[in-house]
């Protein structure tokens, strides 16, 4: 299927997608059964597209919406603990207008930043299958093509691999040998610099594997990398 050439139209296509039967069943089941704390809320229970500045310098890629976060609120990283960490850091480093992201319409604006995920539907146990990952990749490819960022920050190894696959999908070339994911890994990839960052999941933040300072340092470095690319392209003109 040919995907639209503007983000709004792409969002409509994504939110209507039912290509992965297991994920469609799971996201809707979670939306019906709900978590007790949210039993009075209507869950979104659909695919969650990316959101933010359509001309962003920085593109952040996560794994997938959380069952009771993005799958509930309809906005990626919104209403869950990982999002609390992510948006607080984006705010401290100047990429977001406020430190919290609680629901659509909460006033949050991303400043030169766009946030999305490799897979747009909440997967059971946060583990999409390879087929589900591949089904969803064209949406990420088109988002990256339309936003055309200077820096991509991949939150976790799954997002790192998806970003490399998306780059291959966009350019028709695979980077070889495949760059290894690590916190702070940085790879120049044609139009963007790819930076790896531990995912701000509770598994990492509770254990101290990822601290606020480490997360802030990645987003500060992302700004420096984007600035270097802007300077270089201005010099070439």
Please report, as ranges, the residues that interact with ligand SF4 according to CB under 6 A: 14, 17-20, 23-24, 47, 119-121, 132, 135-136
- Partners of 58 in beta bridges: 113, 151
Q: Least distance to ligand SF4 from the beta carbon of 21, Å?
A: 8
> Closer to ligand SF4 at the Cβ: 137 or 175?
137
> Closer to ligand SF4 at the Cβ: 60 or 195?
60
> Closer to ligand SF4 at the Cβ: 63 or 155?
63
Query: 137 and 165 in contact (C-beta within 8 Å)?
Result: yes
Q: Least distance to ligand SF4 from the beta carbon of 186, Å?
A: 28
Closest CA to 85 of 101, 105, 65, 68: 101
> Closer to ligand SF4 at the Cβ: 119 or 144?
119
Query: 114 and 62 in contact (C-beta within 8 Å)?
Result: no
Q: Least distance to ligand SF4 from the beta carbon of 194, Å?
A: 22
Q: Least distance to ligand SF4 from the beta carbon of 36, Å?
A: 26
Query: 113 and 60 in contact (C-beta within 8 Å)?
Result: yes
> Closer to ligand SF4 at the Cβ: 14 or 166?
14
Burial 8-23 (b: 16+ CB within 10 A, else e): eebbebbeebebbeeb
Q: Least distance to ligand SF4 from the beta carbon of 1, Å?
A: 11
């Amino acid at each position: 299927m040919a995907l639209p050439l503007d983000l709004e139209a792409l969002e409509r296509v994504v939110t209507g997608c039912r290509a992965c039967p297991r994920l469609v069943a799971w996201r809707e089941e979670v939306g019906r059964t709900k978590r007790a704390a949210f039993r009075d809320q209507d869950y979104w229970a659909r695919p969650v597209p990316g959101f933010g500045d359509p001309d962003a310098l920085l593109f952040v890629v996560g794994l997938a919406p959380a069952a009771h976060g993005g799958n509930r609120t309809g906005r990626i990283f919104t209403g869950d603990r990982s999002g609390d960490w992510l948006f607080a850091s984006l705010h401290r480093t100047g990429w977001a207008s406020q430190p919290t992201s609680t629901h659509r319409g909460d006033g949050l604006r991303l400043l030169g930043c766009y946030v999305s995920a490799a897979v747009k539907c909440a997967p059971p146990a946060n583990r999409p299958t390879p087929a589900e990952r591949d089904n969803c990749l064209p949406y990420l490819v088109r988002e990256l093509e339309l936003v055309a960022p200077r820096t991509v920050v991949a939150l976790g190894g799954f997002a790192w691999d998806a970003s490399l696959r998306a780059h291959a999908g966009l350019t028709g070339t695979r980077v070889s040998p495949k760059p290894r994911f690590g916190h702070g890994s940085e790879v120049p990839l044609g139009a963007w610099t790819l930076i790896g960052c531990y995912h701000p999941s509770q598994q990492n933040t509770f254990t101290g594997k990822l601290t606020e300072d480490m997360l802030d340092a990645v987003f500060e470095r992302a700004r420096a990398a984007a600035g270097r690319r802007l300077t270089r392209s201005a010099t070439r003109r």
